[in-house]
Amino acid sequence: MNFVLIGVNHKSAPLQVRERLAIPAARLQEATLSLLSVPCVREGMILSTCNRVEFLTYQEPAQADLLEFIQNYFAIGKEALHPYMYEYRASEVVRHVFRVASSLDSLVVGEPQILGQVKESYSLARSIGGINNNLDPLMQRAFTVARKVRNQTSIGISSVSIASVAVDLARKIFGSLQGKTVLLMGAGKMGELAARSMMQHGASTIYICNRTYERAVELAGKFPGVRSESGSATGQSAIVQPISYDLLHQYAATADIIVSSTGSENPIFNRKHAEQYMQRRKQRPMFFIDIAVPRDVDPEINSVEGVFVYNIDDLQAVAVSNMSSRTKEAMNAEVIIRTEVERYTQRMQSLNGVPSIVALQQTLEDVRQSEMRRMAPRFAQMSSEQLQAVEQMTRALVHKLQHAPIQAIKRAAQEGDRETLAVIQNVFDLEHHEKPIEATGKAESMVGQNEKETAFAPTPDATATKSADSAAAKPVTVKEDCLP
């Protein structure tokens, strides 16, 4: 398993570092292509969320210097980056990916958005050829494990969402949200959820602003009871009004709560803006919820009297402090992850024995066919039924003879017992018959399929053999530009 994962997350790096590495959705494809152009990186995908930026790769035959790639890509010095980066390899990657997809590595453990974000990154990487036979089974398994964790534990049931934390904080400032005005800046999903939650808690006016006015109109359409541009309500208690970006600061001064989640690389709201707003609203408190990474709201604004700024880390820290009851569920989920990682790792290791199994089967089949050909003149007098019976008998004989060595190969592969593997290869003279299998992907897919049928039971030999047969079908493809 030549998996390598390198990245930063909310635990390893502060928001100031994460926002320098954040990759907007619009640039993710180009960034993934850049990653794939790194020598030795056969497959790769990038996960960039508000909590993490991670580069998942499959490398062969040598190790690529991903840290150097990141330094060059983001034009950041090693000193500024190195203390915050983490790197996982082989089975550590499997564990990490499973934990991320299952939301166990999230700051708000159990939050549901992460799985969707992982799937989006996966789809994008797959569409540009970044995901193939090695990463695909890993990601598919990660999605299955995530579903399993969610179904078998209550980790998501009591999820303290960022939206609910934002509402709670707004209540600490305003008491009730009845009659309050909310400005939603940007089209981020989490921002939309927060604004929607505030509307449900009584906010009377929702202004929606986006650099592209049509996008604001489109987003407004997702809220119940979209209003006309004049903002007049039509049968609903709340007014939902898309506004032009040019009028942002004019409307912002009237908003009690500003939820910002744009992909902007520079702050949209600065201290001067906040001071102007406060003057216009006679010092009535204002609450900025900055969900964007990089941040949309200059943190200096928090020092303006009456203005409260909470960024994504602040919101999540509050959420974490509210969820002690989830610890037990998280522990149960960790047990599932541990079991799944072991299972996946064992399967990967057993796949290392597949070329030997295939070679053994091929050798014995060659012997059988050779003997059948040699005996063919003597079988000339036999009827077709008799010939078929002989054929079946020899096949059955070969299957029975190869059963014990195949079991031994599988055991040795799982245990990493190279000596036993070598002995079996010598005894059966398999070295000359072994064919490389394309990065185990196809075979692994087959084993994955088999596992659906035998999820909690040992894989029958026949199935393994069939998998191995299938696995042997494709040759290895190696990039020309990668030297060990």
Q: Nearer Cβ to other proteins, position 19 or 256?
A: 256
H helices of 37-155, in order, are 66-74, 78-81, 91-101, 113-127, 135-152
Residue 302, interface with other proteins (CB under 8 A)?
Answer: yes
Q: Nearer Cβ to other proteins, position 303 or 454?
A: 303
Half-sphere exposure of 445 (CA within 13 A, CB side): 15
Exactly one of 79, 214, 246, 305 binds other proteins (CB under 8 A); that residue is: 305
Exactly one of 36, 217, 253, 317 binds other proteins (CB under 8 A); that residue is: 317
Residue 214, interface with other proteins (CB under 8 A)?
Answer: no
Q: Which of 103, 90, 237, 236 is nearest to 160 (CA)?
A: 103
Residue 173, interface with other proteins (CB under 8 A)?
Answer: yes
H helices of 352-437, in order, are 354-375, 384-415, 418-428
Angle (CA) 284 287 290, round 5°:
155
Residue 281, interface with other proteins (CB under 8 A)?
Answer: yes
Token pair for 165: 């934390």
> Closest approach of Cβ 239 to other proteins, in Å?
21
- Cα–Cα distance for residue pair 398/386, rounded to 1 Å: 18
Q: Nearer Cβ to other proteins, position 88 or 174?
A: 174
Residue 312, interface with other proteins (CB under 8 A)?
Answer: no
- Cα–Cα distance for residue pair 445/443, rounded to 1 Å: 5
Query: DSSP string covering 153-207, please?
Result: S-TTTT---HHHHHHHHHHHHHS--TT-EEEEES--HHHHHHHHHHHHTT--EEE
Q: Nearer Cβ to other proteins, position 57 or 316?
A: 316
- Report how many residues bind other proteins under the rule CB under 8 A: 21
> Closest approach of Cβ 120 to other proteins, in Å?
30
Residue 175, interface with other proteins (CB under 8 A)?
Answer: yes
> Closest approach of Cβ 85 to other proteins, in Å?
27
Residue 288, interface with other proteins (CB under 8 A)?
Answer: no
Query: What 3-state DSSP class applies to 175?
Result: coil
From the list 223-231, 315-323, 417-425, 442-450, the region that binds other proteins by CB under 8 A is 315-323
From the list 100-108, 302-310, 327-335, 424-432, the region that binds other proteins by CB under 8 A is 302-310
Cβ(472)–Cβ(365) under 8 Å?
Answer: no
Binding positions for other proteins, 140-169, rule CB under 8 A: 169
**Residue among 40, 50, 209, 482 flagged as catalytic:** 50
> Closest approach of Cβ 102 to other proteins, in Å?
27
Q: Nearer Cβ to other proteins, position 135 or 278?
A: 278
Sole residue written with tokens 């990141």:
70
Q: Which residues contact 313 (CB under 8 A, 6 or more apart)?
A: 10, 14, 15, 107
From the list 111-119, 313-321, 369-377, 420-428, the region that binds other proteins by CB under 8 A is 313-321
| DSSP code at position 59 | E
> Closest approach of Cβ 298 to other proteins, in Å?
15
Sole residue written with tokens 């995901």:
131
Sole residue written with tokens 């983001």:
74
Reply yes or no on whether 40 is catalytic. no
- Cα–Cα distance for residue pair 332/154, rounded to 1 Å: 9
Q: Which residues contact 389 (CB under 8 A, 6 or more apart)?
A: none
Instruction: Sort strands 41-48 and 52-59 into parallel, antiparallel or unpaired.
Output: antiparallel
Query: What 3-state DSSP class applies to 311?
Result: strand
From the list 72-80, 151-159, 283-291, 377-385, the region that binds other proteins by CB under 8 A is 283-291
Residue 171, interface with other proteins (CB under 8 A)?
Answer: yes
| Strand order across the beta sheet in which 205-209 lies | 239-243, 205-209, 181-185, 257-260, 286-290, 307-311
Count, residues in the chain: 484
Q: Nearer Cβ to other proteins, position 171 or 466?
A: 171
> Closest approach of Cβ 165 to other proteins, in Å?
9
- Cα–Cα distance for residue pair 458/5, rounded to 1 Å: 30
Q: Nearer Cβ to other proteins, position 172 or 189?
A: 172
Exactly one of 285, 364, 394, 422 binds other proteins (CB under 8 A); that residue is: 285
From the list 73-81, 237-245, 300-308, 403-411, the region that binds other proteins by CB under 8 A is 300-308
What's the chain's Rg over C-alpha atoms? 29
Residue 481, interface with other proteins (CB under 8 A)?
Answer: no
Residue 321, interface with other proteins (CB under 8 A)?
Answer: yes
Residue 239, interface with other proteins (CB under 8 A)?
Answer: no
Query: What 3-state DSSP class applies to 132?
Result: coil
Residues involved in catalysis: 50
Residues that bind other proteins (CB under 8 A): 169, 171-175, 281-285, 302-303, 305-306, 308, 310, 314, 317-318, 321
